[in-house]
Amino acid sequence: MILNGLKCYREIILRTGFFDAHEFKIFMESIFESQGYRGESKDILIIHDAGIGDFVNLSSSIRTIRQKFPESRITLICDSSTKFLARSCPYVDSIFYNPRNFDSAEFIQIFDWQVEFVQNLLPSKFDLAFCFCHRIAGILLAYISGAKKIIHYSGSLICSPDHFGIEFVNPLVNSPVKIDFTRPHIADRYLGLVDGFFQTLTEDRELEVWFEPRCLDKARKLLGDFHDKQIFAIVMSGATFDKHYPPEKYAQLARKISESIPDARFVILGGKMDFESGEIFTNEFGSTDRILNLAGSTNYSETAAILSMCSMYIGNDTSSKHVSAALKIPCLEPNCFPRDHELQFDSSPMIYFPYLVPSVTVMPEKSLPECIDSTFFRGCKIQNQSHCITQIEVDKLFEGFHLLLDKIQREDNLPSFIY
């Protein structure tokens, strides 16, 4: 009955060339009511539509929801990229990985995919759906799952360059929460959704990383003789190239660190595409006995296990940075956001600094000419190459390293931004 209703409304979209969320809700509500989807239920749905770093920052929210509902059955929908961490989450009863969480250019494609995917969810008749969604697809999925209450912010979670704005499906959200503009970090934005719904303030805001115990054994094996040394993780990956600091400069920084810390060892982590950067790093460093290039050699659970054995994360703005922060590993990060762009609520460094751990973010003094007028939330708008970030001098990064050592000594978990 529900699937037939969705298919009928699909024909309306095709005929009119338009989707009206308010009319869609009126059309579907009587069908949901007739099929028993508006009665009492203890089942809860959590939908998350972003990658690994964002997922790690969601961990405290998942834990808090479980604490609020210790007897409920909780289903988690998350992106396929998170599976190596999500599958060990102790707070949910079932997980579905949605490989099409991200919006495509045509709304009918989003609609068709979610109608197909929702067949996994309809039997549960959810009472609550917490939508930690950056894009409209997750909110649409929450509604067509039949969930009685759809919980999301009354506006966008963050500024997003998507084809459709969140307001496109806002009529489907019947339990809207106002965003707290005093807490810019993504982990706080996620928790703010839970706190706003329950009208409480979560005290335990610590993040978690979940991986299988066997991963620790593999990590020790891979690290070999490095295990009893002071290990610095070097991560030179990043979803887009504007985040990439040159591997040669990372190697120059590593040389300076090794001169001041004799037992320093450097482990290069990342995907298969980062192996070449690791080789460039090793050649520039000029020695192999202090370097272990593991890029492409581990899955994400194993990477997390290795990071748990490191003294410091040194690297780009990546998911591994957030994993490190959740593991209480101090973080040193070169970031492409230039000084001549004002840090605001929706600026990337404010949303994604390493959470509740000593950290130093080093940024360029000014924009390169192409980015002077950029309104992009990462400041630098050239995403297909290393651009504004290349201006950061190694000496400035080394200054950030010493500042981070001082912050570790003082147990200062507030973020520091230097230029």
CATH number of the domain where residue 382 is located: 3.40.50.2000
Claim to verify: residue 219 and residue 113 sit in the same structural domain: no
Q: Confidence class of residue 99 from pLDDT cuts 50, 70 and 90?
A: confident
Letter for the amino acid at 276? E
Residue 205 counted as domain residue: no
Indicate whether 220 and 194 sit together in one domain.
no
105 band by pLDDT with thresholds 50, 70 and 90: low
Q: What is the pLDDT of residue 160?
A: 46
pLDDT on residue 135: 82
CA angle 359, 158, 55 (to 5 degrees): 60
Quick check: 380 and 374 in contact, CB under 8 A?
A: yes
Is the same domain home to 267 and 240?
Answer: yes
- Same domain membership, residue 219 and residue 193: no
Whether the model clears a pTM of 0.75, i.e. scores above it, the answer is yes
pLDDT of residue 102: 57
As for how many domains the chain has, the answer is: 2
The residue from 198, 231, 262 where one domain ends is 198
Mean pLDDT along residues 199-225: 95
Model pLDDT, residue 140: 93
Residues 13 and 98 reside in one and the same domain: yes
Averaged over 290-300, what is the pLDDT? 95
Say whether both 247 and 190 belong to one domain. Answer: no
SS3 per-residue string spanning 381-401: CCCCCCCHHHHCCHHHHHHHH
Same-domain status, 268 and 304: yes
Whether residue 204 is contained in a domain is answered as no
Contacts of 311 (CB under 8 A, 6+ apart): 230, 231, 232, 329, 330
Phi, psi of 104 (to 5 degrees): -100, 180
Q: Which of 69, 411, 353 is nearest to 207 (CA)?
A: 353
Is 203 within a domain?
no
125: left (phi over 0), alpha (psi -120 to 50) or beta: left
Per-residue pLDDT tens digits for 35-88: 999 988 889 999 999 999 999 999 999 999 999 999 999 999 999 999 999 999
Shared domain for 159 and 11, answered yes or no, is yes
- Domain region containing 281: 215-418
Instruction: Tell me, yes or no, whether 335 and 306 share the same domain.
Output: yes
Residues 236, 318, single domain; the answer is yes
Residues in the chain: 419
| pLDDT of amino acid 203 | 96
283 and 401 share one domain: yes
Strand ranges inside 280-418, DSSP E: 291-293, 312-315, 331-334, 359-362, 415-418
**Residue 110 scores a pLDDT above 90:** no
Q: Say if residue 394's pLDDT is above 60.
A: yes
Q: Is 123 in the same domain as 24? A: yes
Residue 88 is assigned to a structural domain of this protein: yes
Structure tokens at 419: 């230029």
Q: How do residues 129-180 score in pLDDT, each as one tens digit?
A: 999 988 888 999 999 999 999 999 986 665 444 445 666 788 999 999 998 8
